[in-house]
């Protein structure tokens, strides 16, 4: 059994079609013409690649199909030099595509996802691999979580879960509470934290989540990021940047935060690393359009 990795990232790729430079969001019966357009890999790719660029030993377990979208993302992943041992190739289309209408402060999505394999690549990887951390790129409270947690606990892996979700997950739902209580680090954005808890105030939402999860990080866009762990609260301001596109900023943030945490940095410094990687990612379309390295961290942080 291999234990050569810091982070095992499980989760599907996504192909992001990003329209930027819009004057308004699309409406029924109207055409909105974007000033710029980008086709970029997204989804779990964002965090896997951002971690890899920071020098973290990352394994990304992902399924790819016979379709053009899969092949495009696969080619990019290879170009980045990601470990390929956890890629599973399927003889059918696996199209995970998101159209993003991106305004400077937020964006609207239209998505299509082909049915996923019964046993996803992430589950296969968990059977054979040990890493220090399992990273789940969205709020997952589905049927595979229980088995995954058993394997993870047996191997003393930390579990970090992003809060990405478009469903109506609420902390009051037993399966959601179970998932949130089972992870070591939960990383929602401000909207997700408020929606989960039913709170309107970000800090109250953070407090409520911290009753369930040992370490909670709430990302607040240009407002920076907050965290609570073991009774300690931390805050770090966002970079003073003018974003081009914020798609994938949260995924990039997670990579920065995790890279610092794996080095045992204090909570506030982990947030600062997240803000550098997340903030710089907004300067280009997609989550990885701009490469962020350790040199960027050193340049931005005193
Ligand atoms: N407008 C911005 N200016 C500076 N940093 C930003 C901006 N938008 C996002 N970021 C950085 O990216 C992180 C994640 O962005 P956020 O929008 O909160 O998450 P998500 O992408 O999950 O919605 C923020 O905490 C911040 O560090
Ligand atoms: Mg997010």
Q: Which residue has the tokens 């402060």?
A: 105
Percentage of the chain beyond pLDDT 90 is 83
Number of domains in the chain: 1
Q: Is the per-residue pLDDT at 38 higher than 50?
A: yes
Dump pLDDT digits (tens) for 100-141.
888 866 778 899 999 999 999 999 999 988 899 999 999 999
The answer to the question of residue 131 being in a domain is yes
Collapsed DSSP state (helix, strand, coil) of residue 75: helix
CA distance 256 to 112: 29
Residues in the chain: 302
Q: Is the CB–ligand 1 distance for residue 221 below 6 Å?
A: yes
Q: Is the CB–ligand 1 distance for residue 226 below 6 Å?
A: no
CATH number of the domain enclosing 242: 3.40.1190.20
Q: Which residue has the tokens 């041992």?
A: 85
Q: Is the per-residue pLDDT at 45 higher than 60?
A: yes
Range of the domain at 256: 2-11+44-66+120-300
Q: Which of 24, 74, 26, 80 is nearest to 49 (CA)?
A: 80
| Ion ligand 2: protein residues whose beta carbon lies under 5 Å | 164, 189, 250
pLDDT of residue 166: 67
The answer to the question of residue 78 being in a domain is no
Tokens of 158: 């930390």
The answer to the question of residue 196 being in a domain is yes
Q: Is the CB–ligand 1 distance for residue 64 below 6 Å?
A: no
Output the CA 253–ligand 1 centroid distance in Å: 7
Output the CA 254–ligand 2 centroid distance in Å: 9
pLDDT of residue 103: 81
The answer to the question of residue 76 being in a domain is no
Inter-residue contact 241 to 224 (CB < 8 Å): no
Mutation probe of ligand 1 site: the residue of 106, 237, 238, 296 with most atoms within 8 A of C-beta:
238
The closest-lying atom of ligand 1 relative to the alpha carbon of residue 275 is 27
Handedness of CA 128, 134, 136, 137 (dihedral sign): negative
92-119 burial string, b = 16+ CB within 10 Å, else e?
Answer: eebebbbbbbbbeeebeeeeeebeebee
Mean per-residue pLDDT over the chain, rounded: 94
pLDDT of residue 24: 86
Q: Whose CA is nearest to atom 5 of ligand 1?
A: 279
Dump pLDDT digits (tens) for 173-226.
999 999 999 999 999 999 999 999 999 999 999 999 999 999 999 999 999 999
34-52 burial string, b = 16+ CB within 10 Å, else e?
Answer: eeeebebbbbbbbbbbbbb
pLDDT of residue 165: 84
The answer to the question of residue 115 being in a domain is no
The closest-lying atom of ligand 1 relative to the alpha carbon of residue 248 is 21
Output the CA 95–ligand 2 centroid distance in Å: 20
Q: Which of 112, 63, 118, 111 is nearest to 91 (CA)?
A: 63
Residues 6+ apart with CB under 8 A from 301: 269, 272, 273, 276
Distances 54 to 4, 57, 76, 91, 260 between C-alpha atoms, Å:
16, 9, 17, 33, 10
Output the CA 278–ligand 1 centroid distance in Å: 6
What pTM did the predictor assign? Answer: 0.95
Taking the CA of 102 as reference, the closest ligand is 1
Q: Is the per-residue pLDDT at 244 higher than 90?
A: no
Burial class (CB in 10 A: 0-12, 13-18, 19+), 8: buried
Taking the CA of 287 as reference, the closest ligand is 1
Output the CA 191–ligand 2 centroid distance in Å: 9
The answer to the question of residue 180 being in a domain is yes
pLDDT of residue 171: 95
pLDDT of residue 1: 47
The answer to the question of residue 27 being in a domain is no
Q: Is the CB–ligand 1 distance for residue 250 below 6 Å?
A: yes
Output the CA 102–ligand 2 centroid distance in Å: 14
Output the CA 235–ligand 1 centroid distance in Å: 14
> What Rg, from alpha-carbon coordinates, does the chain have?
18
The answer to the question of residue 182 being in a domain is yes
CB atoms within 10 A of CB 191: 16
Out of 22-26, 188-192, 210-214, 234-238, least confident range:
22-26
């Amino acid at each position: 059994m291999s234990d050569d990795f810091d982070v095992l990232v499980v989760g599907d790729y996504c192909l992001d079609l990003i329209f930027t430079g819009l004057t308004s969001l699309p409406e029924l019966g109207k055409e909105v013409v974007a000033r710029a357009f980008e086709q970029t890999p997204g989804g779990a790719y964002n965090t896997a690649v951002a971690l890899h660029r920071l020098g973290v030993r990352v394994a990304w377990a992902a399924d790819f199909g016979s379709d053009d979208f899969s092949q495009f993302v696969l080619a990019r992943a290879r170009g980045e030099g990601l470990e390929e041992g956890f890629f599973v190739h399927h003889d059918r289309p696996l199209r995970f595509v998101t159209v993003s209408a991106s305004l400077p402060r937020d964006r609207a999505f239209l998505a299509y996802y082909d049915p996923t394999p019964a046993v996803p690549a992430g589950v296969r990887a968990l059977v054979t691999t040990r890493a220090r951390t399992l990273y789940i790129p969205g709020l997952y409270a589905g049927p595979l979580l229980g088995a995954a947690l058993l394997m993870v606990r047996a191997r003393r892996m930390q579990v970090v879960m992003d809060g990405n979700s478009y469903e109506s997950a609420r902390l009051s739902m037993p399966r959601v509470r179970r998932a949130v209580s089972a992870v070591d680090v939960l990383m929602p954005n401000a909207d997700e934290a408020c929606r989960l808890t039913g709170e309107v105030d970000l800090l109250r939402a953070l407090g409520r989540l911290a009753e369930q999860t040992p370490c909670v990080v709430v990302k607040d866009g240009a407002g920076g990021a907050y965290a609570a762990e073991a009774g300690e609260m931390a805050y770090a301001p966002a970079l003073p940047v003018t974003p081009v596109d914020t798609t994938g900023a949260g995924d990039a943030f997670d990579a920065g935060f995790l890279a610092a945490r794996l080095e045992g940095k204090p909570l506030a410094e982990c947030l600062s690393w997240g803000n550098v990687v997340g903030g710089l990612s907004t300067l280009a379309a997609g989550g990885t359009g701009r490469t962020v390295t350790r040199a960027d961290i050193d340049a931005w942080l005193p």
